[in-house]
């Protein structure tokens, strides 16, 4: 069955870099795209960026200068790196399977990231 699982540190210092990994199973990264979506506590989700099935990437312009998404298809993993973190980057970070027709049809459990010194 389709599964996605995020992993990474729960606490990041201000101005530091966040590195998250999304490990997928049940589908191929060369057939489906994966997006990163974050959600501040008590607020609506925000789309961050996408790793297309063909290896291309797309980013939310609001985050583009700080964000990088990459993948390792041999390990079924998609990576997120975002630098210069601030306190308003605190929230839950999700990876999702992303299909153009269906949108975000499968979600990981999410990883809570707190930016604090």
Partner 1 sequence: DVVLTQTPPTLSATIGQSVSISCRSSQSLLHSNGNTYLHWLLQRPGQSPQLLIYLVSRLESGVPNRFSGSGSGTDFTLKISGVEAEDLGVYYCVQGTHAPDTFGAGTKLELK
Q: Which residues bind partner 1 (CB under 8 A)?
A: 35, 43-47, 58, 60-62, 94, 100-110
Radius of gyration of the chain (CA): 13
Which is closer to partner 1, CB of 13 or CB of 109? 109
Q: How far is the CB of 5 from partner 1 (least distance, A)?
A: 11
Helix and strand numbers, DSSP H then E, in the chain = 0, 11
Q: How far is the CB of 74 from partner 1 (least distance, A)?
A: 26
Which is closer to partner 1, CB of 43 or CB of 56? 43
3-state secondary structure at position 74: helix
Q: How far is the CB of 34 from partner 1 (least distance, A)?
A: 13
Which is closer to partner 1, CB of 27 or CB of 107? 107
Return the beta strands (E) in 13-107 as ranges. Answer: 18-25, 33-39, 46-51, 57-59, 67-72, 77-82, 91-99, 103-107
């Amino acid at each position: 069955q389709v599964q996605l699982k995020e992993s990474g540190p729960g606490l990041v210092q201000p101005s530091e870099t966040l590195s998250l990994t999304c490990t997928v199973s049940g589908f191929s990264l060369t057939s489906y795209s994966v997006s990163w979506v974050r959600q501040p506590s008590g607020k609506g989700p925000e789309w961050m960026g996408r790793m297309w099935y063909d290896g291309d990437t797309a980013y939310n312009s609001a985050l583009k200068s700080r964000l990088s998404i990459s993948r390792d298809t041999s390990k079924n993993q998609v990576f997120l790196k975002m630098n210069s973190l601030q306190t308003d980057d605190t929230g839950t970070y999700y990876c999702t399977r992303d299909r153009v027709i269906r949108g975000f049809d499968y979600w990981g459990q999410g990883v809570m990231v707190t930016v604090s010194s």
